[in-house]
Structures are given as C-alpha cells and as structure tokens.
C-alpha cells in the first residue's frame, strides 16, 4: 500500500483505460492492490464505487473512489506530486496541449481503431476506419515532434500525460494489425512514433503491465464475435 494508505485499483488486465492508472501508479512508485473484475460482469464494489458510469477503472483511495482513467492519472500526479516525475507538464500551455491530445485520442482516434478490431469483414466502413487511424497517427507524429522537443517521450525526458493517454493503446494497435492483416504504424510515415512506441513499451513503469498481443487478439476475437452476433439478432 501507499505509505500505510489503502489503495485499490478495480479493472480488467486487457483494458487500456485500467492500464493508464497502473502506469501512473508505477511512475510514482506507489503500491496498490489490483482487484480484477470478472469479464462480462460488474462487481458490487464497482457499481457502488462508480454508480454514474458503472465503468472501469476505479481507484479507491482510503475508501474514496476516483473514476475516469485520465482523471485518475491527474489525481495520482497531484496526490503523489513529490514522488517520481511529474506526469502533467508544469507550464499551463503545455498542460492544455497535453489534455487536448488526450481527448483527441479517446474521442476520435481510438473509436476508429475499435472499428477495425470489431469488423467482421474488410468492408467500406472498415477501410474508412483504417484511413482514420492512419491519418490520426500522422497527426500524432507531428504532435510528438512538437511536444517532445527532441526528447524520448511526449512528456520529454520521461513518460508523461500524452504518453500514458496514447501508449495504453500500443498493445491494441498491434492486435488490430494482426487481426486485420494490415500495417498501421509505419516506419516510413511515422518513424518518430515507431521509436517512441518501442521506448514506451520497454519503460520500467510500463513493461510489466503491457498485455501480450496474442492475448489481446483473443479478447478482440471475442469482442468481434459478440458484436457480430448482436448485429444479426
């Protein structure tokens, strides 16, 4: 536990949103208890802790629940400000830019990636999603060049807010490539992101938490089967 404090993280190992909280806690060197939810169900503790959205992750700190992944990341950064590197930039403008890209990644980029994962065939909609993902990666390539200022991460010398927001999807990006038989992250079009992704996944705070791609493919196939079944009913 965190210095005698009670700290619990509710979630699933395959969830990129749960991964965000785990990475932030690791960056700060904060110990916690991970409570794995049962896939397809929602525990009483989860429903009680997040009655509004009823979603993972939930961080429970001394009995108080904090919900929504990037809010949890910011909470961790503020509560353990003196421990480990800062996750959010200190400059107000840089903080605003970091939050902007985190919202873009969740609202625009990841939904397109999920369409590729859930697609049952390489139809017009899937092709459009693929183009959206690739276009988004090119935008993020430009964002990395500006935000990193020539350093290893979006956050500079160490993993930061955008790194966590985007990097949590690295496993799912590789799983989507494998499931669809396509290349999304390309060393010709996005060489900076290729290097960044390798550094991020091998970072000490990340490497033990990042799910194996083949296991994510299994989960993706289950999601695809479930969505296809729902579409035919």
- Report if pTM > 0.85: yes
Is residue 19 a contact partner of residue 34, using CB atoms and an 8 Å limit? no
pLDDT score for 4: 62
Give me the percent of the chain exceeding a pLDDT of 70.
95
CATH top-level class of 92-222 = mainly alpha
Instruction: Enumerate long-range contacts of 143-147, CB under 8 Å, 24 or more apart.
Output: 143/101, 144/192, 144/193, 144/196, 145/192, 147/94, 147/97, 147/98, 147/101
Quote the strand ranges of 62-182, DSSP E.
Answer: 64-67
User: pLDDT below 70 — which residues of the chain?
Assistant: 1-4, 121-122, 231-233
- What residue segments make up the domains of the chain, in order of their start? 7-79, 92-222
The pLDDT score that the predictor gives to residue 233 is: 62
Q: What would the CATH number be for the domain defined by 7-79? A: 3.40.30.10
Predicted local confidence at residue 36, as pLDDT: 97
């Amino acid at each position: 536990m965190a210095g005698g404090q009670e700290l619990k993280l509710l979630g699933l190992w395959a969830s990129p949103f749960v991964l965000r909280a785990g990475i932030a806690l690791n960056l700060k060197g904060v110990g916690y208890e991970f409570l794995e939810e049962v896939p397809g169900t929602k525990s009483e503790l989860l429903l009680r802790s997040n009655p509004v959205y009823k979603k993972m992750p939930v961080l429970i700190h001394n009995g108080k629940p904090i919900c929504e992944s990037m809010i949890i990341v910011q909470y961790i950064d503020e509560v353990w400000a003196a421990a480990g590197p800062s996750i959010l930039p200190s400059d107000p403008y840089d903080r605003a830019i970091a939050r902007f890209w985190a919202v873009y990644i969740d609202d625009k980029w990841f939904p397109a990636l999920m369409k590729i994962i859930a697609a049952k065939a390489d139809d017009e909609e899937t092709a459009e999603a693929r183009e959206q993902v690739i276009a988004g990666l090119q935008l993020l390539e430009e964002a990395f060049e500006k935000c990193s200022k020539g350093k290893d991460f979006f956050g500079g010398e160490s993993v930061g807010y955008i790194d966590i927001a985007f990097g949590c999807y690295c496993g799912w990006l590789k799983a989507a490539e494998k499931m669809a038989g396509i290349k999304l992250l390309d060393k010709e079009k996005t060489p900076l992101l290729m290097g960044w992704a390798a550094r991020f996944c091998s970072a000490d705070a990340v490497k033990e938490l990042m799910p194996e791609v083949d296991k994510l493919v299994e989960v993706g196939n289950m999601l695809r089967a479930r969505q296809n079944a729902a579409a035919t009913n």
